[in-house]
Structure 1
Amino acid sequence: MARPRQITDAQIVEAAHEVFLEQGFGATTAAIARRAGVSEGTLFNRFASKEDLFVAAIGLNDYGQWRAALLAQVGTGDVRRNLERALLTMLREAAGLVPKLMVMFSRGHDPSHNLILQRLDDPMRADANALAAYLQGEVQLGRVRPLDADVTALSVVGALTHFVHREQMLPSTQGALDAGRFVRGLMDVLWPGLAP
Protein backbone atom coordinates (compact mmCIF):
# COMPACT_ATOMS: atom_id res chain seq x y z
CA MET A 1 0.00 0.00 0.00
CA ALA A 2 1.36 3.44 -0.99
CA ARG A 3 2.03 5.98 1.71
CA PRO A 4 -0.36 8.95 1.67
CA ARG A 5 1.13 12.24 0.57
CA GLN A 6 2.11 14.32 3.56
CA ILE A 7 2.89 17.44 1.58
CA THR A 8 0.23 18.48 -0.90
CA ASP A 9 0.83 19.99 -4.31
CA ALA A 10 -0.72 23.20 -2.95
CA GLN A 11 1.89 23.34 -0.19
CA ILE A 12 4.69 22.84 -2.72
CA VAL A 13 3.21 25.55 -4.94
CA GLU A 14 2.99 27.94 -1.96
CA ALA A 15 6.64 27.26 -1.03
CA ALA A 16 7.68 27.79 -4.65
CA HIS A 17 5.66 31.02 -4.80
CA GLU A 18 7.53 32.39 -1.77
CA VAL A 19 10.95 31.36 -3.07
CA PHE A 20 10.35 32.67 -6.61
CA LEU A 21 9.15 36.04 -5.28
CA GLU A 22 12.20 36.28 -3.03
CA GLN A 23 14.84 35.06 -5.50
CA GLY A 24 13.36 35.34 -8.97
CA PHE A 25 13.34 32.57 -11.54
CA GLY A 26 16.99 31.86 -10.72
CA ALA A 27 15.89 30.21 -7.48
CA THR A 28 17.01 26.61 -7.39
CA THR A 29 14.67 23.67 -7.14
CA ALA A 30 16.78 22.61 -4.15
CA ALA A 31 15.79 25.83 -2.34
CA ILE A 32 12.14 25.25 -3.21
CA ALA A 33 12.28 21.64 -2.06
CA ARG A 34 13.88 22.71 1.24
CA ARG A 35 11.19 25.33 1.81
CA ALA A 36 8.47 22.78 1.04
CA GLY A 37 10.08 20.06 3.13
CA VAL A 38 10.36 17.59 0.25
CA SER A 39 13.08 16.19 -1.98
CA GLU A 40 13.86 17.57 -5.41
CA GLY A 41 12.72 14.23 -6.79
CA THR A 42 9.29 14.84 -5.27
CA LEU A 43 9.13 18.22 -7.02
CA PHE A 44 9.83 16.64 -10.38
CA ASN A 45 7.44 13.74 -9.73
CA ARG A 46 4.67 16.29 -9.33
CA PHE A 47 5.77 18.99 -11.79
CA ALA A 48 7.37 18.08 -15.11
CA SER A 49 9.77 21.04 -15.13
CA LYS A 50 10.87 24.07 -13.20
CA GLU A 51 8.86 26.16 -15.69
CA ASP A 52 5.69 24.18 -14.87
CA LEU A 53 6.29 24.72 -11.17
CA PHE A 54 6.93 28.41 -11.81
CA VAL A 55 3.69 28.85 -13.76
CA ALA A 56 1.74 27.06 -11.01
CA ALA A 57 3.45 29.04 -8.26
CA ILE A 58 3.18 32.46 -9.83
CA GLY A 59 -0.47 31.92 -10.73
CA LEU A 60 -0.52 34.04 -13.86
CA ASN A 61 -3.67 32.28 -14.99
CA ASP A 62 -5.59 33.75 -12.05
CA TYR A 63 -5.47 37.26 -13.49
CA GLY A 64 -8.33 38.75 -15.52
CA GLN A 65 -11.44 37.60 -13.69
CA TRP A 66 -12.87 41.12 -14.03
CA ARG A 67 -13.11 40.80 -17.81
CA ALA A 68 -15.96 38.27 -17.91
CA ALA A 69 -17.82 40.14 -15.17
CA LEU A 70 -17.67 43.38 -17.16
CA LEU A 71 -18.73 41.77 -20.43
CA ALA A 72 -21.72 40.20 -18.66
CA GLN A 73 -22.89 43.73 -17.77
CA VAL A 74 -23.37 44.99 -21.33
CA GLY A 75 -26.81 46.59 -21.40
CA THR A 76 -27.36 46.40 -17.64
CA GLY A 77 -26.87 48.86 -14.82
CA ASP A 78 -25.16 52.22 -15.09
CA VAL A 79 -22.32 52.24 -17.63
CA ARG A 80 -20.08 54.57 -15.64
CA ARG A 81 -20.54 52.56 -12.43
CA ASN A 82 -19.92 49.31 -14.35
CA LEU A 83 -16.65 50.75 -15.67
CA GLU A 84 -15.58 52.08 -12.27
CA ARG A 85 -16.19 48.71 -10.59
CA ALA A 86 -14.34 46.86 -13.35
CA LEU A 87 -11.37 49.24 -13.26
CA LEU A 88 -11.08 49.01 -9.48
CA THR A 89 -11.14 45.23 -9.69
CA MET A 90 -8.55 45.34 -12.45
CA LEU A 91 -6.29 47.50 -10.28
CA ARG A 92 -6.60 45.06 -7.37
CA GLU A 93 -5.79 42.10 -9.61
CA ALA A 94 -2.94 43.97 -11.32
CA ALA A 95 -1.39 44.90 -7.97
CA GLY A 96 -0.91 41.19 -7.38
CA LEU A 97 0.18 40.50 -10.95
CA VAL A 98 3.00 43.06 -11.29
CA PRO A 99 5.40 41.42 -8.79
CA LYS A 100 4.79 38.09 -10.53
CA LEU A 101 5.51 39.59 -13.94
CA MET A 102 8.70 41.15 -12.59
CA VAL A 103 9.85 37.71 -11.44
CA MET A 104 8.91 36.23 -14.79
CA PHE A 105 10.81 38.92 -16.70
CA SER A 106 13.85 38.36 -14.49
CA ARG A 107 14.47 35.49 -16.86
CA GLY A 108 14.59 37.86 -19.82
CA HIS A 109 12.22 39.54 -22.26
CA ASP A 110 13.00 37.42 -25.32
CA PRO A 111 10.50 34.56 -25.71
CA SER A 112 13.18 32.41 -27.38
CA HIS A 113 15.14 32.45 -24.10
CA ASN A 114 12.21 32.72 -21.70
CA LEU A 115 9.83 29.88 -22.48
CA ILE A 116 7.37 31.11 -19.87
CA LEU A 117 6.63 34.13 -22.08
CA GLN A 118 5.51 31.73 -24.78
CA ARG A 119 2.92 30.34 -22.34
CA LEU A 120 1.62 33.71 -21.20
CA ASP A 121 -1.08 35.63 -22.96
CA ASP A 122 -0.44 39.36 -23.05
CA PRO A 123 -2.53 40.51 -20.05
CA MET A 124 -2.57 44.17 -21.11
CA ARG A 125 -3.79 43.30 -24.60
CA ALA A 126 -6.46 40.99 -23.15
CA ASP A 127 -7.52 43.78 -20.75
CA ALA A 128 -7.80 46.29 -23.59
CA ASN A 129 -9.69 43.80 -25.77
CA ALA A 130 -12.23 43.09 -23.01
CA LEU A 131 -12.72 46.77 -22.27
CA ALA A 132 -13.10 47.56 -26.00
CA ALA A 133 -15.65 44.75 -26.39
CA TYR A 134 -17.66 46.15 -23.47
CA LEU A 135 -17.57 49.66 -24.92
CA GLN A 136 -18.55 48.41 -28.39
CA GLY A 137 -21.50 46.56 -26.88
CA GLU A 138 -22.65 49.69 -25.08
CA VAL A 139 -22.18 51.80 -28.24
CA GLN A 140 -24.42 49.41 -30.16
CA LEU A 141 -27.10 49.83 -27.48
CA GLY A 142 -26.75 53.63 -27.55
CA ARG A 143 -25.59 53.73 -23.93
CA VAL A 144 -22.16 55.13 -24.97
CA ARG A 145 -21.61 57.60 -27.80
CA PRO A 146 -19.96 56.29 -30.97
CA LEU A 147 -16.20 56.20 -30.42
CA ASP A 148 -13.08 54.29 -31.26
CA ALA A 149 -13.39 51.62 -28.58
CA ASP A 150 -9.88 50.26 -29.19
CA VAL A 151 -8.20 53.63 -28.67
CA THR A 152 -10.35 54.38 -25.62
CA ALA A 153 -9.59 50.98 -24.10
CA LEU A 154 -5.84 51.31 -24.71
CA SER A 155 -5.90 54.77 -23.13
CA VAL A 156 -7.65 53.47 -20.02
CA VAL A 157 -5.43 50.39 -19.71
CA GLY A 158 -2.36 52.58 -20.18
CA ALA A 159 -3.45 54.92 -17.39
CA LEU A 160 -4.21 52.00 -15.07
CA THR A 161 -0.93 50.28 -15.88
CA HIS A 162 0.99 53.47 -15.13
CA PHE A 163 -0.85 53.82 -11.83
CA VAL A 164 -0.02 50.23 -10.80
CA HIS A 165 3.63 50.57 -11.80
CA ARG A 166 3.93 53.88 -9.99
CA GLU A 167 2.45 52.43 -6.81
CA GLN A 168 4.42 49.16 -7.01
CA MET A 169 7.81 50.36 -8.19
CA LEU A 170 7.98 53.79 -6.66
CA PRO A 171 5.94 53.53 -3.47
CA SER A 172 5.76 56.79 -1.61
CA THR A 173 4.59 57.42 1.90
CA GLN A 174 3.78 60.97 0.88
CA GLY A 175 1.23 61.66 -1.75
CA ALA A 176 0.08 58.06 -2.24
CA LEU A 177 -3.02 58.11 -4.41
CA ASP A 178 -5.95 55.93 -3.41
CA ALA A 179 -7.10 53.57 -6.20
CA GLY A 180 -10.73 54.63 -5.77
CA ARG A 181 -9.84 58.29 -6.10
CA PHE A 182 -7.73 57.53 -9.17
CA VAL A 183 -10.50 55.57 -10.92
CA ARG A 184 -13.18 58.17 -10.10
CA GLY A 185 -10.89 60.97 -11.33
CA LEU A 186 -10.06 59.08 -14.50
CA MET A 187 -13.76 58.55 -15.17
CA ASP A 188 -14.44 62.24 -14.46
CA VAL A 189 -12.06 63.02 -17.32
CA LEU A 190 -13.30 60.29 -19.68
CA TRP A 191 -17.03 60.21 -19.04
CA PRO A 192 -17.91 63.43 -20.90
CA GLY A 193 -16.49 61.82 -24.03
CA LEU A 194 -18.32 58.53 -23.43
CA ALA A 195 -21.76 59.70 -22.34
CA PRO A 196 -24.42 59.43 -25.07
Structure 2
Amino acid sequence: MKDAKAALRKEMKARRSALAAAHPQAGEAMASAFEARGNWPSAEVVAGFHPFGSEIDPLPLLMRFHARGYGLALPALVESAEGGQMIFCAYDPIGALVEGPYGIWQPGPDAPEVFPDIILAPLLAFDREGGRLGYGGGFYDRALDYLKAAKRGKDSPLQVWGVAFSAQEVARVPTEPHDQRLDAVLTEQGVIEIRKNP
Protein backbone atom coordinates (compact mmCIF):
# COMPACT_ATOMS: atom_id res chain seq x y z
CA MET A 1 0.00 0.00 0.00
CA LYS A 2 2.77 2.45 0.91
CA ASP A 3 4.55 1.73 -2.38
CA ALA A 4 1.32 2.30 -4.32
CA LYS A 5 0.75 5.60 -2.55
CA ALA A 6 4.35 6.72 -3.10
CA ALA A 7 4.17 5.95 -6.82
CA LEU A 8 0.84 7.77 -7.19
CA ARG A 9 2.15 10.78 -5.23
CA LYS A 10 5.11 11.10 -7.58
CA GLU A 11 2.87 10.89 -10.65
CA MET A 12 0.29 13.32 -9.28
CA LYS A 13 2.81 15.91 -8.14
CA ALA A 14 4.07 16.13 -11.70
CA ARG A 15 0.53 16.21 -13.09
CA ARG A 16 -0.57 18.95 -10.68
CA SER A 17 2.49 21.07 -11.47
CA ALA A 18 1.62 20.93 -15.16
CA LEU A 19 -2.03 21.77 -14.42
CA ALA A 20 -1.09 24.75 -12.27
CA ALA A 21 1.19 26.11 -14.99
CA ALA A 22 -1.47 25.66 -17.66
CA HIS A 23 -4.37 27.05 -15.59
CA PRO A 24 -3.14 29.88 -13.33
CA GLN A 25 -6.69 31.21 -12.83
CA ALA A 26 -8.17 27.86 -11.77
CA GLY A 27 -8.78 29.07 -8.21
CA GLU A 28 -10.91 31.95 -9.44
CA ALA A 29 -12.75 29.60 -11.82
CA MET A 30 -13.43 27.22 -8.92
CA ALA A 31 -14.85 30.07 -6.82
CA SER A 32 -17.04 31.27 -9.69
CA ALA A 33 -18.33 27.76 -10.39
CA PHE A 34 -19.25 27.29 -6.74
CA GLU A 35 -20.93 30.69 -6.54
CA ALA A 36 -22.95 29.99 -9.69
CA ARG A 37 -24.64 27.06 -7.95
CA GLY A 38 -26.24 29.48 -5.49
CA ASN A 39 -26.37 26.78 -2.83
CA TRP A 40 -24.48 28.24 0.11
CA PRO A 41 -24.17 25.81 3.02
CA SER A 42 -25.56 26.18 6.50
CA ALA A 43 -22.33 26.73 8.44
CA GLU A 44 -20.64 29.28 10.65
CA VAL A 45 -16.92 28.72 10.03
CA VAL A 46 -15.23 27.59 6.80
CA ALA A 47 -11.56 26.62 6.88
CA GLY A 48 -9.32 26.78 3.86
CA PHE A 49 -5.55 26.90 3.48
CA HIS A 50 -2.91 29.23 2.10
CA PRO A 51 -1.87 27.69 -1.25
CA PHE A 52 1.60 26.23 -1.43
CA GLY A 53 3.47 25.21 -4.56
CA SER A 54 1.13 23.95 -7.27
CA GLU A 55 -1.99 23.66 -5.09
CA ILE A 56 -5.14 25.16 -6.57
CA ASP A 57 -5.79 28.49 -4.85
CA PRO A 58 -8.80 28.35 -2.47
CA LEU A 59 -8.48 31.99 -1.38
CA PRO A 60 -10.91 33.42 -4.00
CA LEU A 61 -13.57 31.01 -2.72
CA LEU A 62 -12.78 31.85 0.91
CA MET A 63 -13.25 35.54 0.12
CA ARG A 64 -16.70 34.78 -1.29
CA PHE A 65 -17.59 32.97 1.93
CA HIS A 66 -16.25 35.92 3.91
CA ALA A 67 -18.37 38.36 1.90
CA ARG A 68 -21.45 36.38 2.93
CA GLY A 69 -20.65 36.57 6.62
CA TYR A 70 -19.02 33.19 7.23
CA GLY A 71 -16.14 33.05 9.68
CA LEU A 72 -12.86 31.85 8.21
CA ALA A 73 -10.03 29.68 9.49
CA LEU A 74 -6.67 28.42 8.26
CA PRO A 75 -4.60 25.47 9.48
CA ALA A 76 -1.68 26.11 11.78
CA LEU A 77 1.04 23.66 12.78
CA VAL A 78 1.84 23.85 16.48
CA GLU A 79 4.16 21.97 18.77
CA SER A 80 2.66 19.00 20.57
CA ALA A 81 3.78 15.95 22.53
CA GLU A 82 3.88 14.04 19.23
CA GLY A 83 6.14 16.67 17.66
CA GLY A 84 3.62 18.63 15.64
CA GLN A 85 -0.14 18.99 15.44
CA MET A 86 -2.36 20.79 12.95
CA ILE A 87 -5.16 22.87 14.41
CA PHE A 88 -7.40 25.49 12.81
CA CYS A 89 -7.18 29.13 13.84
CA ALA A 90 -9.35 32.13 13.05
CA TYR A 91 -8.33 33.92 9.85
CA ASP A 92 -8.88 37.61 9.20
CA PRO A 93 -8.27 38.36 5.49
CA ILE A 94 -6.80 41.77 6.37
CA GLY A 95 -4.68 40.41 9.20
CA ALA A 96 -1.06 39.37 9.01
CA LEU A 97 0.01 35.76 8.56
CA VAL A 98 3.27 34.21 9.72
CA GLU A 99 5.44 31.69 7.95
CA GLY A 100 4.98 28.31 9.59
CA PRO A 101 6.77 24.99 9.24
CA TYR A 102 7.47 23.88 5.65
CA GLY A 103 7.22 27.53 4.54
CA ILE A 104 3.40 27.58 4.61
CA TRP A 105 1.67 30.78 5.73
CA GLN A 106 -0.61 30.43 8.74
CA PRO A 107 -2.31 32.60 11.40
CA GLY A 108 -0.03 33.96 14.12
CA PRO A 109 0.24 32.53 17.65
CA ASP A 110 -2.36 35.00 18.97
CA ALA A 111 -5.10 33.76 16.61
CA PRO A 112 -7.67 31.72 18.56
CA GLU A 113 -8.29 28.08 17.77
CA VAL A 114 -11.68 27.47 16.14
CA PHE A 115 -13.67 24.39 15.18
CA PRO A 116 -14.77 24.71 11.54
CA ASP A 117 -17.99 23.31 10.12
CA ILE A 118 -16.48 22.90 6.65
CA ILE A 119 -12.85 22.25 5.76
CA LEU A 120 -11.44 22.83 2.29
CA ALA A 121 -8.57 20.34 2.06
CA PRO A 122 -5.67 20.25 -0.42
CA LEU A 123 -4.80 16.97 -2.09
CA LEU A 124 -2.78 15.26 -4.77
CA ALA A 125 -5.49 12.91 -6.05
CA PHE A 126 -9.13 12.07 -5.38
CA ASP A 127 -11.71 9.54 -6.51
CA ARG A 128 -15.51 9.46 -6.67
CA GLU A 129 -15.74 7.38 -3.50
CA GLY A 130 -14.24 10.18 -1.40
CA GLY A 131 -10.68 8.85 -1.42
CA ARG A 132 -8.07 11.56 -0.85
CA LEU A 133 -4.35 11.22 -1.45
CA GLY A 134 -2.47 13.71 0.70
CA TYR A 135 1.23 14.31 1.13
CA GLY A 136 1.99 11.46 3.50
CA GLY A 137 2.50 13.39 6.74
CA GLY A 138 -0.92 12.49 8.16
CA PHE A 139 -1.55 16.02 9.44
CA TYR A 140 -5.03 16.30 7.95
CA ASP A 141 -6.04 12.77 8.97
CA ARG A 142 -5.09 13.43 12.60
CA ALA A 143 -6.64 16.89 12.64
CA LEU A 144 -9.90 15.58 11.20
CA ASP A 145 -10.03 12.81 13.80
CA TYR A 146 -9.63 15.46 16.49
CA LEU A 147 -12.24 17.79 15.01
CA LYS A 148 -14.82 15.07 14.39
CA ALA A 149 -14.48 13.96 18.01
CA ALA A 150 -14.91 17.58 19.15
CA LYS A 151 -18.04 18.01 17.03
CA ARG A 152 -19.58 14.64 17.85
CA GLY A 153 -23.18 15.06 18.92
CA LYS A 154 -23.42 18.56 17.43
CA ASP A 155 -26.24 19.48 15.06
CA SER A 156 -23.89 20.00 12.11
CA PRO A 157 -21.28 17.28 11.51
CA LEU A 158 -17.95 18.28 10.04
CA GLN A 159 -17.84 18.41 6.24
CA VAL A 160 -14.55 17.90 4.38
CA TRP A 161 -14.40 19.19 0.81
CA GLY A 162 -11.36 18.48 -1.32
CA VAL A 163 -10.20 21.28 -3.60
CA ALA A 164 -8.38 20.26 -6.75
CA PHE A 165 -7.98 20.59 -10.47
CA SER A 166 -10.55 18.33 -12.14
CA ALA A 167 -7.72 16.37 -13.79
CA GLN A 168 -6.48 15.25 -10.36
CA GLU A 169 -9.26 12.68 -10.35
CA VAL A 170 -8.16 9.04 -10.54
CA ALA A 171 -10.13 5.80 -10.75
CA ARG A 172 -9.24 4.73 -7.22
CA VAL A 173 -7.06 6.23 -4.51
CA PRO A 174 -5.26 3.55 -2.46
CA THR A 175 -6.56 4.00 1.09
CA GLU A 176 -5.86 2.65 4.55
CA PRO A 177 -8.21 2.52 7.57
CA HIS A 178 -6.86 5.78 9.03
CA ASP A 179 -7.41 7.76 5.82
CA GLN A 180 -10.19 10.34 6.11
CA ARG A 181 -12.71 10.46 3.28
CA LEU A 182 -14.07 13.50 1.48
CA ASP A 183 -17.70 14.61 1.40
CA ALA A 184 -17.32 16.50 -1.91
CA VAL A 185 -14.64 17.84 -4.24
CA LEU A 186 -14.55 21.38 -5.61
CA THR A 187 -12.80 21.90 -8.94
CA GLU A 188 -12.50 24.62 -11.56
CA GLN A 189 -15.32 22.86 -13.44
CA GLY A 190 -17.74 22.67 -10.52
CA VAL A 191 -18.65 20.51 -7.54
CA ILE A 192 -18.25 16.74 -7.62
CA GLU A 193 -20.63 14.99 -5.25
CA ILE A 194 -19.19 11.93 -3.57
CA ARG A 195 -21.03 8.63 -3.84
CA LYS A 196 -21.98 7.50 -0.38
CA ASN A 197 -21.77 3.80 0.38
CA PRO A 198 -25.10 2.48 1.73
More strand by share: 2
More helix by share: 1
Q: Does TM, normalized by the shorter one, top 0.5?
A: no
- Give TM class, smaller chain: under 0.3
Query: Higher Cα Rg: structure 1 or 2?
Result: 1
TM (normalized to structure 1)?
Answer: 0.26
